A = this chain, B = another copy of it.
Amino acid sequence: MGGELIVDFEPLGRRARVKPQTTLLEAARQSGVGLNAICGGAGTCGTCRVRVVAGEVTPPTEAERDALAEGLRLACQARVLTDVRVDVPPGSITAPQRAQVEGRERAVEFHPAVRFYDVTVDPPSLADLRSDVTRMQVAVHHQYGLTVDRFDHAVLQQLSRRLRENEWHVRLVVGGNEENEALAVVPAGVAPLGMAVDIGTTKVAAYLVDLESGELLASAGTMNPQIAYGEDVMARIAHAMEGDTQAEELQRAIATGLNELAQQVCAQAGREREDVVEAVLVGNTCMHHLVLGLPVAQLGLAPYVPAMSDSYNLKARELDLDLAAGANVHLLPNIAGFVGADHVAMLLATGIHETGEITVGLDIGTNTEIGLAVNGRLLSCSCASGPAFEGAHIRDGMRAAPGAIERVRLVDGQVAYQTIDGAAPVGICGSGILDGVAELRRIGVLLPSGGMVLGGHPRLRGTGAGVEFVLAPAGERDAPHDIVITRKDINEVQLAKAAIRAGIEVLLDAAGLNADRIERVIVAGAFGTYLDVDSALAVGMFPPLPRERFVQVGNAAGMGAKHVLLSRRSREIAGRIARRVEYIELTTHPGFVKLYTSALMLP
Q: Are A131 and B161 in contact (CB under 8 A)?
A: no
Which of A156, A292, A305 has the most chain B CB atoms inside 10 A of its CB?
Answer: A305
Given A161-B297, A292-B156, A295-B160: A134 touches B309 (CB 8 Å cut-off): yes
Q: Are B310 and A126 in contact (CB under 8 A)?
A: no
Q: Does A463 contact B (CB under 8 A)?
A: no
- Inter-chain CA distance A540–B153, complex, in Å, is 44
Q: Which residues on the B side are within 8 Å of A588 (C-beta)?
A: 126
- Inter-chain CA distance A247–B303, complex, in Å, is 51
Q: Are A124 and B156 in contact (CB under 8 A)?
A: no
Q: Which residues on the B side are within 8 Å of A293 (C-beta)?
A: 157
Q: Does A583 contact B (CB under 8 A)?
A: yes
Q: Which residues on the B side are within 8 Å of A314 (C-beta)?
A: 153
Given A309-B130, A310-B134, A336-B129: A124 touches B297 (CB 8 Å cut-off): no
Q: Are B307 and A129 in contact (CB under 8 A)?
A: no
Shortest Cβ gap from A356 to chain B (Å): 29
Interface string of A198-239 (1 = CB under 8 A from B): 000000000000000000000000000000000000000000
Given A302-B126, A583-B129, A588-B126: A308 touches B157 (CB 8 Å cut-off): no
Our pick among B131, B132, B305 for the contact of A130 (Cβ within 8 Å) is B305
Q: Which residues on the B side are within 8 Å of A156 (C-beta)?
A: 292, 294, 307-308
Interface positions, chain A 272-288, Cβ under 8 Å from B, are: none
Q: Which residues on the B side are within 8 Å of A129 (C-beta)?
A: 303-305, 336-337, 583, 585
Shortest Cβ gap from A162 to chain B (Å): 10
Q: Which residues on the B side are within 8 Å of A309 (C-beta)?
A: 130-131, 133-134
Interface string of A251-294 (1 = CB under 8 A from B): 00000000000000000000000000000000000000000111
Interface string of A301-340 (1 = CB under 8 A from B): 0111111111000100010000000000000001011000
Q: Does A375 contact B (CB under 8 A)?
A: no
Q: Does A117 contact B (CB under 8 A)?
A: no
Our pick among B157, B297, B307 for the contact of A131 (Cβ within 8 Å) is B307
Q: Are B303 and A160 in contact (CB under 8 A)?
A: no
Q: Which residues on the B side are within 8 Å of A153 (C-beta)?
A: 292, 314, 318
Q: Are A307 and B133 in contact (CB under 8 A)?
A: yes
Q: Does A97 contact B (CB under 8 A)?
A: no
Q: Are B161 and A308 in contact (CB under 8 A)?
A: no
Shortest Cβ gap from A458 to chain B (Å): 52
Interface positions, chain A 554-603, Cβ under 8 Å from B, are: 583, 585, 588
Q: Which residues on the B side are within 8 Å of A297 (C-beta)?
A: 160-161
Q: Are A308 and B133 in contact (CB under 8 A)?
A: yes
Q: Does A164 contact B (CB under 8 A)?
A: yes
Q: Does A298 contact B (CB under 8 A)?
A: yes
Residue of B nearest to A136 (CB): B308
- Inter-chain CA distance A125–B133, complex, in Å, is 50
Q: Which residues on the B side are within 8 Å of A303 (C-beta)?
A: 124-126, 128-129
Q: Are B132 and A308 in contact (CB under 8 A)?
A: yes
Interface positions, chain A 91-143, Cβ under 8 Å from B, are: 124-126, 128-134
Q: Does A346 contact B (CB under 8 A)?
A: no
- Inter-chain CA distance A129–B336, complex, in Å, is 7
Q: Are A308 and B131 in contact (CB under 8 A)?
A: yes
Q: Which residues on the B side are within 8 Å of A305 (C-beta)?
A: 124, 129-132
Q: Does A168 contact B (CB under 8 A)?
A: no
- Inter-chain CA distance A298–B129, complex, in Å, is 11
Given contacts A130-B305, A151-B308, 19 further A-B contacts (CB under 8 A): A126-B585, A126-B588, A129-B304, A129-B585, A131-B306, A131-B308, A131-B309, A132-B298, A132-B306, A133-B308, A133-B309, A133-B310, A134-B310, A153-B314, A153-B318, A160-B295, A160-B298, A160-B307, A161-B295
